Structure 1
Amino acid sequence: MSASFQPDLLVASLRPLAAAAALSPAEQVYRSFYGFEQSLLPSRLGFFQAGPYRIAAQVWWPQAPRATLILLHGYYDHSGLYRHVIDWALGMGFAVLALDLPGHGLSSGARASIDDFAEYQAVLQAGLAQAAELDLPAPWHLCGQSTGGAILVDYLLTGEPSADIGETILLAPLVRPRAWAWSQLSYRVMRNFVKEIPRRFSENSHDPVFIDFLQNRDPLQPRNLPTAWVGALSQWVPRIERAARSTRSPLIVQGEADMTVDWRHNLGVLEDKFASPTIFRLPEARHHLANEVPALRQRYFDFLSQRLAG
């Protein structure tokens, strides 16, 4: 990853995604900083409006794309961290549309916060509208890591999925975080006294270079956990666990060394909510599957490639 960039200047210079053309010098610096190497492919970096939020988004087009992957990152993350997933999708012949969630990356909003998880659904719907405006090829496969996966679970269970939707890939999906009962108790005690607490970074990947970059060199990493986000999650969890079953069958990848989400409970919920979901377990993998070590990434990319090869 190359020299640093200036996030505030880049955000101020972003153009509407539907009208964006070749990457500006500032956008090229951003791409280089996060290690993207698809410089020869047509691509865009811009924004679209979703309610009160200005959502940063990126698009890549391989030659003669045969489908599209719409990518949602995890909590505290942003699209700049997902080059491995994007590389895999482009290699599959998929166009890619990657969104920065509100309060994350280059998007607007209070950092790492949300008042209601319904706002994420509004962002996803606006992103799907962008996919249509850009004439991205169907089927539109969906992929979400952790909180991104939670947004997709919500969409499949409570929304009205577009006819263009293909497969849904859930990487270490969030339903309940680990130690959820304790987290709820702490939230009820703290919510009237503090608005945020310092973030505790975890060893959520076996890749030491990624962990160091996340903790020490990524200027887009939030440094606090807002209690508002925990409150929104506490309202969302029981609603999604009570939701009616779906006939859809997502592809789920789960690491069994995941210390971020309550993955055993979550897989039970997802097996109950969906019709025979296909679950690929990686005994050694930690939570941040998008940035696990290459050998673990390759194992689940091979699994996904077999199922999306048609």
Structure 2
Amino acid sequence: MPEPFQPENLLATLRPLAAVTPLSTDHLAYRDFYGFGELQAGHSRLGVIEVGGYRIALQAWWPQTPRATLVLLHGYYDHSALYRHVIEWALGMGFAVLTFDLPGHGLSSGTRASIGDFAEYQLVLQAVLAEAAALDMPQPWHLFGQSTGGAILIDYLLTDSPRPEVGETILLAPLVRPRAWAWSQLSYRLLKPFVSEIPRRFSNNSNDAEFIDFIQNRDPLQPRNLPTAWVGALSRWVPRIERAPASSRSPLIVQGEADMTVDWRHNLALLQEKFAEPRILRLPEARHHLANETPALRKRYFDFLSRHLS
């Protein structure tokens, strides 16, 4: 792995995505650090948009002859640069890729790993889709979300009117309720009057030991605390989504049965009620961070997705 890049240097060079010139030295160091040096793409961009008081970092890649676009949403505590495997798969499928760091994550602004209300995520997603239109990203636009990214897409499909450009929706280990949700809510109510955040507890949420070591010890963009504000926003979002009317959409869902992060049995049952015959792949050995599972597990779900998107 290359030497760590300097996040503060990169942040100082970010410009509006629409006005981006060729990648700077700091941009290339960032891409190289996260393993994008060998990525086969016709061209790419890295820049920002302003929305809802946030400065949101976006990245885009185009293969030589794109036939669609994958809009990629990462999970909680994550950032876009951790999704190289998904981006490589998408480019291999002939998709352009547009991905962004959520507020408080990665290269985007905002209190680290926090949000005031999940409605803010929808505001950002709408702005990103507007940017996709401005960039004339090839249609259809397939939506892809891991964990919290999946929750944002579930919200978008159930409570909004998806844009006509939207094609398939892919949900990896989607968040509705986290594991031990009742205990989490009790802890939140007890802690809220006294603390604004608690130290993050890292978990072995992938069978890929190298990825786990990187996240815990070498990634300079990893948040180190869990803000109680984010837990509060989640606690208001869950009942709203569970009461939302059903959708005629049929998302593709991939779920690991060794997932110790979300309450996947409850979530799958709920999603089967909310959506019209969702197409589900269950992987008995897979843990939560499917985007960075072992190569064998990634191949199984990428083959599943490729069959449906070919």
Partner amino acid, structure 1, of 2:5:
F
Q: State the secondary structure of the residue aligned to 2:60.
A: strand
Partner amino acid, structure 1, of 2:179:
R
CA distance in 2, matches of 1:51, 1:189: 30
User: Does residue 172 of structure 1 match 2:170?
Assistant: no
- Measure how far apart 1:51 and its partner are: 1.1
Once the two structures are superposed, the pairs formed by residues 46-195 of structure 1 within 5 Å of their partners are 46-195=47-196
Once the two structures are superposed, the pairs formed by residues 207-222 of structure 1 within 5 Å of their partners are 207-222=208-223
Contact 2:41 2:63 (8 Å CA) reproduced: no
CA distance in 2, matches of 1:40, 1:65: 10
Listed one character per residue, the Cα deviations across residues 227-274 of structure 1 (whole Å, up to 9, x for unaligned) are 000000000000000000000000000000000000000001100000
* Residue in 2 that maps onto 1:27: 27
* Residue in 1 that maps onto 2:15: 15
Alignment root-mean-square deviation, CA:
0.7
* Residue in 2 that maps onto 1:2: 2
Q: State the secondary structure of the residue aligned to 1:236.
A: helix
Listed one character per residue, the Cα deviations across residues 141-181 of structure 1 (whole Å, up to 9, x for unaligned) are 00000000000000000011000000000000000000000
CA distance in 2, matches of 1:297, 1:40: 21
- Measure how far apart 1:21 and its partner are: 2.1
- How many residue pairs align between the two structures? 309
Once the two structures are superposed, the pairs formed by residues 173-252 of structure 1 within 5 Å of their partners are 173-252=174-253
Q: State the secondary structure of the residue aligned to 1:29.
A: helix
Normalised to the residue count of structure 1, the TM-score between the two structures is 0.99
CA distance in 2, matches of 1:188, 1:40: 48
User: Does residue 302 of structure 1 match 2:295?
Assistant: no
- Measure how far apart 1:40 and its partner are: 5.3
CA distance in 2, matches of 1:40, 1:82: 15
Instruction: Return 5+ residue gaps in structure 2 as ranges.
Output: none
Normalised to the residue count of structure 2, the TM-score between the two structures is 0.99
Instruction: Return 5+ residue gaps in structure 1 as ranges.
Output: none
- Measure how far apart 1:39 and its partner are: 6.1
Structure 1, 185-194 or 13-22: larger mean CA deviation = 13-22
CA distance in 2, matches of 1:34, 1:302: 24
CA distance in 2, matches of 1:290, 1:274: 23
